[in-house]
């Protein structure tokens, strides 16, 4: 027979049960339940009250900033759309006024009317 480090004769079921009960006692298990594969002990229990950390504060601020930014972008888009509509209405009115100028009889009257329309357009802006 070859000599090995592990001697089967020294193993007894009583020693194995003593080791298992000691392991259960150390890791918080009971003899009725087998030990869990991953037991974290006190860390597994939920905290009594939620603790606010700086990370949760930063996340909350970032979410709030995102909401404010979304509302600001919505307002800016509606402002730009309204401004563009007003500008188009003014340009439409100027084109209509310029078209009426061309209905006049003389070139001098047409030029005077166009200058007047152009001056009113600059004044409106």
Q: What is the pLDDT of residues 76-96, one digit of tens each?
A: 999 999 999 999 999 999 999
14, pLDDT greater than 90: no
The predicted pLDDT at position 58 comes to: 94
Query: Which is nearest to 124 in space by CA: 82, 89, 79?
Result: 89
Q: What is the pTM of this model?
A: 0.46
What confidence category does residue 4 fall into, taking pLDDT thresholds of 50, 70 and 90? low
For the chain, the domains span 8-45, 53-125
The predicted pLDDT at position 60 comes to: 94
Read off the pLDDT of each residue in 45-50 and give the average, rounded to a whole number.
Answer: 62
Backbone angles phi, psi at 121, to 5 degrees: -65, -40
Place of tokens 């009250």: 49
Q: Point out the least confidently predicted range of 17-21, 58-62, 77-81.
A: 17-21
* Residues near 41 by beta carbon (within 8 Å), at least 6 away in sequence: 27, 28
The predicted pLDDT at position 30 comes to: 56
What are 63's two structure tokens? Answer: 């979410």
């Amino acid at each position: 027979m070859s000599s090995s480090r592990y001697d089967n004769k020294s193993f007894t079921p009583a020693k194995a049960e003593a080791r298992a009960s000691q392991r259960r006692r150390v890791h918080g298990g009971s003899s009725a339940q087998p030990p869990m594969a991953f037991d974290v002990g006190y860390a597994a229990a939920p905290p009594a009250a939620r603790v606010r950390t700086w990370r949760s504060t930063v996340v909350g601020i970032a979410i709030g900033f995102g909401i404010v930014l979304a509302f600001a972008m919505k307002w800016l888009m509606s402002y730009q759309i309204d401004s563009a509509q007003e500008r188009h209405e003014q340009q439409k009115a100027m084109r209509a006024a310029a078209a009426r100028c061309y209905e006049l009889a003389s070139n001098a009257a047409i030029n005077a009317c166009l200058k007047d329309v152009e001056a009113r357009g600059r004044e409106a802006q």
